[in-house]
């Protein structure tokens, strides 16, 4: 039986690829199980600094596998439930390593939950998107947890309620995407982001991911106090000390893989 998710590591970057083009990379039970295992492996691997999530074919992810949802159908007997969709979105969201979504094409419904869970999302400008759940008589329940943390409230109401298809430029405008680029620039753009991320301290990146989410919800006085303490800790940390020494000595920091930063320097 063919593998539905591929996982490879090169130069500190783990690329995880959804490879189920026959059903537009739908979130079948088998695919979810393999995706969870690949993500866990990438997060645990010491040689992985950045994770790139992508797919094969013209569609990144079409959402739930509706054949498995149909009455009396269910999942194949050889596909035990090993991971749920909420567990996978949480794993991506909480990953201490940055996750870049390289959309190979269109995304719908549940696929947009994956997009929103990632720290960065870059798509070709020809891709289209839709929260199509209401047109099937269901709701975008699980994906709302990540999507509503990315997308503007008015836009979320518009597209959640109407199910209307919208383009990549609009997706970037409302916060669903980081960038929409010409298809010929997709790989170079993803590589540039990955290179920039490789240059950040692993501990600093993990902590900064949390700051982006938690600081806006703190009262100002508490935020100032807690961030002053954190700042002092990081300046005296081993990673912080190494980073400052590397800067003064005009050399790459010890955590930067050999060759990292080439895409950024080439601009």
| Residue 208 burial (CB count, 10 A) | 13
Q: How far apart are CA 210 and CA 224, in angstroms?
A: 16
Is residue 239 annotated as part of the catalytic site, yes or no? no
Backbone angles phi, psi at 8, to 5 degrees: -140, 150
Q: Coil, strand or helix: which one is 136?
A: helix
Neighbour-count burial for 229-243, b at 16+ CB within 10 Å, e otherwise: eeeeebeeeebbeeb
Instruction: Look at residues 169, 173, 176 and name the one whose alpha carbon lies nearest to residue 147.
Output: 176
Q: Give me the catalytic one of 133, 152, 203, 221.
A: 133
List, by residue number, the catalytic residues.
Answer: 133
């Amino acid at each position: 039986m063919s593998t539905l998710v591929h996982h490879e590591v090169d130069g500190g970057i783990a690329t995880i690829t959804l490879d189920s083009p026959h059903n537009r990379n739908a979130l079948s039970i088998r695919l979810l199980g393999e995706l969870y295992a690949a993500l866990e492996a990438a997060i645990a691997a010491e040689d992985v600094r950045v994770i790139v999530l992508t797919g094969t074919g013209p569609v990144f992810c079409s959402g739930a596998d509706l054949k498995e949802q149909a009455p009396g159908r269910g999942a194949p007997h050889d596909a035990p439930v090993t991971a749920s969709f909420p567990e996978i979105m949480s794993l991506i969201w909480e990953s201490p390593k940055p996750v870049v979504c390289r959309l190979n094409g269109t995304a719908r419904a549940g696929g947009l939950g994956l997009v929103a869970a990632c720290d960065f999302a870059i798509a070709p400008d020809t891709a289209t998107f839709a929260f199509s759940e209401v047109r099937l008589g269901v709701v975008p329940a699980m994906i709302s947890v990540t999507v509503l943390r990315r997308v503007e409230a008015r836009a979320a109401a518009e597209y959640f309620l109407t199910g209307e298809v919208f383009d990549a430029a609009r997706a970037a405008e409302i916060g669903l995407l980081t960038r929409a680029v010409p298809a010929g620039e997709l790989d170079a753009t993803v590589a540039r982001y990955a290179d920039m991320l490789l240059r950040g301290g692993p501990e600093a990146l993990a902590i900064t991911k949390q700051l982006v989410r938690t600081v806006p919800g703190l009262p100002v006085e508490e935020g100032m106090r807690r961030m002053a303490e954190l700042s002092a800790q990081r300046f005296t940390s081993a990673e912080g000390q190494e980073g400052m020494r590397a800067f003064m000595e005009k050399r790459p920091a010890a955590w930067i893989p050999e060759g990292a930063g080439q895409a950024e320097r080439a601009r």
